[in-house]
Amino acid sequence: MTTDFSDRLLRWFDISGRKHLPWQQQISPYRVWVSEIMLQQTQVATVIGYFERFMQRFPTIDQLADASEDEVLHLWTGLGYYARARNLHKTARSIIADFNGEFPTNLEQLVALPGIGRSTAGAIISIACGGRAAILDGNVKRVLARCFGVYGWPGQTPVANTLWEIAERLTPTRRVNDYTQAIMDLGATLCTRSRPDCDQCPMLETCVAHKTDEIERLPGKKTRQAIPVRSTYMLLIENSEGEFLLEKRPSLGLWGGLWGFPETEPALLDAVLENQALEPVAAQVILPFRHTFTHFHLDITPLHVRSSRSSHPIGEPDKLIWYDLQAPQAIGLTRPVTRIFAQLKGLQKP
């Protein structure tokens, strides 16, 4: 069954697999690594543009390591899960400092680097280095759970261990790079989460989920719990030159390392303005909206405050800036900031 699985998968890949994605060209450990990090919890169609812009700005790991965190986060803006970008930057610097700029090909050394898990390490080794290493990303979990009838939520350790055992057993010794691409492709194009195209699947005859008519049950889903709701006010403080006050968020925590609007309660607005030596001339609430994270909803009320004069931010210069919408700085912005700026531009149109 092990050899039969890989043989059928590779035959399908030779005919129907995707071979023209940007990270499948000029394959290197660096390009595979960046693409794998970007593809975590993000669709291929979304990643393509980000990957191409990232590679254009940082074609080598040396250039990524030399960049500032703000530059990296700026190119990541809108892709979400920003810890991925911060870890990417840290790992680039670590590889330059500790491995003379060369990716380690040892699984244990790779997984010890920030943001690189077992599956990402396996992809780097198998796709870019031709070594035998298994992967188990979301697409592969779904394929294996359905093909082999592995019940339960893959986030549970016993279920994950079973899937890893199968993945290790199935990974061939030849064409391992193509096999790795193929099994990811199968999950992304045919064995999709909803409405899988089973009739075109090379595993149709042996797939347990198809035989038992339990495709919708596999893989198992995490028990849903009520998502808590939090709320905040974001202060859109605009000076007389049309610039907006932004502050850099702490590296750890929500939107770590990105630039966002100051957050406070309306009752504390005067104190914030006084701290920046600003005198308000007008204030209005912009349409509130909800931003949803994995574990909670955040209800945001933007409060737009115009000041009568310009001012330099008072405080640490690397923590507070005036952001010019007409000549924007190359920094990483939180998603609510980009959304609110787009809304403001819409209101300014004649």
Active-site residue list:
36
Cα angle 297, 46, 141 (rounded to 5 degrees) comes to 80
**Rg of the chain on CA atoms, in Å:** 24
Using N-to-C axis directions, what is the helix angle for 2-16 and 176-189, rounded to 10°?
70
